[in-house]
Every structure is written in structure tokens, then in C-alpha cells.
Structure 1
């Protein structure tokens, strides 16, 4: 209702005098963006395809004429420009993933031309999903090619195996997604995402440089305006039958309006705990109705270093 009232007031105020107004993006949603228009939140405003690289905080031009707001373009510099250096880095990264042999042929005799070396024993191994080969020579007549630079493992994204909410010390049958707070007076909810041992397994033998979590706020949960996501760690591989006990927290790493989606980097201590298995998942919890909200998502992105 608050979005409809804000939109109606805006249309009445502007449609007679101008077609476009500027507005700031509050959150990016799966249906468009949430905008702050004339001091009020208007949710799920559709966007023209020309508005790429959408992000919270953008200032945009909004077309009002026709009775429905539409984001036409982003104001400011075009953030989609790709420099020559960026293009070279992308091409190099792609090329290093391709295993290339210049030519393959065979015959019954020795190969023609110079530079050939007789392989005594071939060796092969798999590193980060790619095959490496080494040829042991009986006699070496030429220097070997420079081996490629060692690269860290590729980032991985871990998706939850389950999720849920708990209320009054037991699972909440009415909330299958993680929920924080209390909207109806029935007791504060706490919610969580579960990953089994997938996070720790993905970190075995690797040096983790960062972990981040991506969360979307569900529509129809609490007020539409931004509310902080109160994050905690937990130690469960799957949903408990009794109370969900919370670990370290809270950390307020993001704030979301309804439908909004955000990614936040986890603190270094949380990264360490999840990587070594002393923590196994992410939870949410708050008290009362002020920050009441429900969430989906919960994927964990892990990047590595050498």
C-alpha cells in the first residue's frame, strides 16, 4: 500500500509538468529495482534493457508519463566500459584454461625435421581439474618450454542443502525460509541455511582468501523499507529437531528492502571457522517487529589464493 500511495502521489505531482524525474536505486530485485521517489519507497520498478550493471546507490532517469514508472537509463559515467588492459586479462585467463598442442601426426618412421626428442617415460597428473603432462627424456637436446604460472583454484559457490526457521525452541512449521524477528506476537523467529560439510570440504588443502554470502529479502515480510540482516554462525550440518542455537554474531553486513538482493563479504574470523569446520552455516535472528524479515538465497562464494 505504501508503494501504491507513493506512486500515485508522484504521478499526480509530475505527470502534468515533466516526463522524467531522477531517483536513487535502493535495491536491485528480480523484477527491476526499488526506488526512492519523492521520499517514498516504490518497489519493483521495471528497467529498460539499456540500464545495465544495476546496483544499489545508482542515480537513474525514470520515465513517468503513461501512468507507470520505468527506469530509462543510469545517470553518470558508463560503468560497462572495458579497457584494453581488462580485455587482455580476460583473454589471458581464458587462454590459460585451454590445453593446446600445435600439431598431431604419425607415421612408421622417425619424424622429419629437427628438434625432436625421444620420450622415455610420460607422466600425467590432474591439477585443479586440468591435465598436466611431463615427458622424461633419455637424452635432452633442447631446453623445455617455460611452465605456465601457477594459478589459485577457481572460485566455487556453495548452495544450501536446506533452510528453515525456529520459534519458541522448535522448528516453525509456518516458515520454511529463514526469518528474523516477530511480526504477530507469537515469539521471535531465528532462521538458518544448512550446507552439510560442503563448505569445509571445498576448503580442504586450499588457502581461502575470501567468503561472501548472497541473500534476497522475501516480499510480504514486514515493512517494505530497508532492514538490516542480522547474521550469525551456527554449527549444524542439517536442521535440528529442537532449538537452533546461534554462534558468533550478530554481524549486520547488509540491509535490504523487499525483493532486494545483496552480496556481503564475511569477516575473516567467520571465514576461518567455516573453512575449518568449527562453524557450518549461516543464521539470522532479531527481536521484535522492527527488523522482522524473511529471506531466501544463502549461497556462499569462496575464493582462493596460492
Structure 2
């Protein structure tokens, strides 16, 4: 081996060793930060009570973990050290089982880091019981329940859950409807979506779209047509209302394409042609819309009149 090659190999070896040392030090630092933060949580002074009070501090008054402890745990999680992150979170939860910060961090680990879907489902249910006011929380619950193949259990849980706020009440039956639809129980899914529409909800267009999806799968095309037309109507109304601090428009594109499919299934070729041509005015190159136009023309040329 030539001296030049030998020197290159030696340099490369030293470089690799330095990289490994850096990684080990980083993980050790994160671990030490967690130990320090959790230790600080454990030794934090607590409010003194009179000697005659023997019951533990009520859960609602126990403080959540400090941001520094959670930040240190996130460093462990982000470095892939799920085992130590999990242990630190369990230690925090032993002190305060209702710590929402720790519960959410542990849920993330069980959901996506070191999957344990059964425990993730348990944690999500605990969070929803504490405060069922976050629509994203319900969406994550639905996703975990479907991954864990626990749709029936999730529907039963949702049926017993009370909403934390009236403006979120529609989400509970909507989520149950999505779970039922995913299992093929379209009849019960339709019932749940209709239940969701009984609650005040300015974004009812989304519920109507889910309702139509279940109706199409159940081959209730006439009902699906009404639901989709209502979804588009409500979405357009929502999108034109001014005065919101944050306004996120509801897209009608999916409902419009579903409606074209329903028109085709019902033999309403003229409606397909009119609607597809209208959409092509703003989406000239859309191949799917062009196919709808072709199919509508074929249907009309065969002499099939639209059924109203």
C-alpha cells in the first residue's frame, strides 16, 4: 500500500471516529438534559397544606411539565432515542397523570416514533375526555383507530363522549361516521353524518361531502346528488362570507367531480355536459373533465334521455 493511500485511510478513519464521538455526545447531552429537567420537576417546591389534609392534590390543579423538560424530551425523540424519551415521559406522568403536555408527547411516540397503537388509542381517548374541543385531535383519533383496526371500539367511545364546546359538537358524529364508513357500514355512517348536520356548523359543506360519499357507496345516487349539490352550495356561501379573522376557503372541486359521477350513474348526460364544460372554462387542460364531456356526448348520442 502506498504511503498516500495509507495516509488517506488514516484520515478517513479519524474523521469517522470524530463523527461517532459527536453523535454519542449529542445523545448523552440530550439524555442529561432530560434527567436534569425531570429531576427539577421532581424536586420543585410544592404548595404547603395544613397537616389535616391527607388527600393528594386534585389533578386539575397539578401543573403540567415545564417547557424545558418537554424540550429536552423532544431532543431525545428527534434523535431517535424513543426509549429514554418514553421513560422520561412516564416519569412525568407518574407525578401528574393528567399532564396534557406529557400525554401528547408520549402519544406522538406511540403513534409515529415507536408505534404502540393500543397505547396511542388509550392516550388519545384520555386527552379527548379532558377536553374534546380540538378537531385535529379527533382526526388523529380516527387515524389511530383505523390503523389499530379498532373502529368499533372508537365508535362506542365517541357515542359516549360529550363535546367541550357547542361549535365542536358536530365533529363527534362526523368522526364516528367516517369510522363506520371505513368498515363498510354505510347505513349507520349515513345516520351519523345526518346527526352531525343537526349541530350548528358553518362548515357543513364538508359533512355533506362525507354524507354523499357514504350514499354513493350505498348506491343511493339520488340522495348523493342532493347532498353534493348542498355541499357545493354551502361551500360557496361559506367562501363568500366576510369578516372572519382567519378564512380558509372550502374547496368544491372534489364535490364537483363526485357530482359529475353521480350524474353519469343516473343517466343525466346533459347535466354532465353542462357542468363539465362550465368547469373547463377555468381548468382548460383537465383530462378528467374532458373525459366527462366525451362520455356525456356518447350518452346523448345513444339517445338516452336524462332521468330527473
TM-score class, shorter: under 0.3
Higher strand residue share? 1
TM-score (norm 1): 0.20
Greater length-normalized contact order (CA 8 Å, ≥ 6 residues apart): 1
Report the TM-score when normalising by structure 2: 0.20
Bigger helix fraction? 2
